[in-house]
Amino acid sequence: MNAKSSVQTKPKHEQLGLSDEEVVEMYKYMVLARKFDERCLLLQRAGKINFHVSGIGQETAQIAAAFALDRERDYFLPYYRDYGFVMAVGMTLEELMLSAFAKAGDPNSGGRQMPGHFGSKRLRIVTGSSPVTTQVPHAVGFALAAKMQKKDIVSYVTFGEGSSNQGDFHEGLNFAGVQKLPVIFLCENNQYAISVPIKKQLGGRVVDRAQGYGFPGIRVDGNDALEVYRVVKEARERAVHGEGPTLIEAMMYRLSPHSTSDNDLAYRTKDEVDENWKKDGIPKMKSYLIEHGLWSEERDEAMLKEIQQQLKDALEAAEGAPYPKPEDTLLHVYASEGEV
């Protein structure tokens, strides 16, 4: 076999520089995120937790993107559906359960914010607030700091396609384009903004807006983990080489309702949702691994058992953990004497 044909026959993950172990780990995170999310939906229905905003259908892109970043050094500004992403950069099941139960030990906010408002100094996840897209200019600020300090790191920010119509998106992208900042903007286009379908939100395409700000825009199938990995990795390379930002539009579908307070069948059909389940990236990834001899049904079963146990442990720990003290409500809101 000559060198050329051996390159051609290499599995795609190897061509992209991912080891067998990494691609298997990617899949494990996808299933872990899915199972955590399903459990949260059940917990909310059982009245154990108040609220959940699901990321089901979006995990594939989230986790693939995380693997393409420097998970030890980059800065992350995820949005509320990014459970898969935060898990892949190191947030534990127990931490996420503490957040779901609004317990004092929740690393995101000590139970003060809604769930899904991620934040962790340890993991360089920058806390976000509820008005959508405010994280975009924040991410641009982190990228400006990285450039000023001459650090070869990037800031990575996600948001929905509905949110990309907010002013913050445009201001952030414009500034990043002018300053050629090391920031990756990733739009998780799940085709709905609560009840508003994509055709009523956008006259054009999110990805095409990048051109107006002077940097590349790339649209990718968000259910294709390896493609998402490839484009985010390229965007990171550009960013750390001083070539500026990239806007990525990852196409996917919000398989669950907007939140546990939403009845999605009031504005979309079950048939439409069922059609989109067929495009789910998780079984696709599983088939890829099996096809390349990296996985089996037996290993899948064993992994699912292990995840059930991990969820049980995290759940027990979170349920048994203390709530924040009422008198701590004003902590971090007003500066104490001596802090100003």
Q: Any idea which residues carry the catalytic annotation? A: 254, 258, 267
β-pair partners for 197:
192
Alpha carbon 288 to chain centroid, angstroms: 22
Neighbours of 327 (CB within 10 A): 7
Structure tokens at 329: 């409500």
Least Cβ distance, residue 334 to ligand TPP (angstroms): 24
Instruction: Indicate which of Mg ion, ligand TPP, none lies near residue 52 (CB less than 5 to 8 Å, by partner kind).
Output: none
Among 157-165, 209-217, 272-280, 313-321, the segment contacting Mg ion (CB under 5 A): 157-165
Question: Where on the chain is the footprint of ligand TPP (CB under 6 A)?
Answer: 81, 130-132, 159-163, 166, 190, 192-194, 254, 258
State the DSSP code for 226: H
Are the CB atoms for 57 and 190 separated by under 8 Å? yes
Told to check if 78 binds Mg ion by CB under 5 A, we report no
Told to check if 44 binds Mg ion by CB under 5 A, we report no
Element (H, E) at 94: helix 93-100
Instruction: Indicate which of Mg ion, ligand TPP, none lies near residue 194 (CB less than 5 to 8 Å, by partner kind).
Output: ligand TPP
β-pair partners for 77:
157
98 vs 247 by CB, closer to ligand TPP: 247
Q: Largest Cα–Cα distance in the chain?
A: 74
23 vs 193 by CB, closer to Mg ion: 193
Told to check if 158 binds Mg ion by CB under 5 A, we report no
The residue written with tokens 């080891």 in the block is 19
60 vs 190 by CB, closer to ligand TPP: 190
Told to check if 256 binds Mg ion by CB under 5 A, we report no
CA dihedral 183→121→188→287, nearest 10 degrees, is: 110
Among 11-19, 108-116, 160-168, 283-291, the segment contacting Mg ion (CB under 5 A): 160-168
Least Cβ distance, residue 60 to ligand TPP (angstroms): 15
Please choose, from the candidates 85, 90, 142, 137, the residue with its C-alpha nearest in 3D space to the C-alpha of residue 116: 85
Are the CB atoms for 339 and 330 separated by under 8 Å? no
Instruction: Indicate which of Mg ion, ligand TPP, none lies near residue 117 (CB less than 5 to 8 Å, by partner kind).
Output: none
Which of 78, 110, 160, 172 lies at the binding interface for Mg ion (CB under 5 A)?
160
Site residues (vs Mg ion, CB under 5 A): 160-162, 190, 193
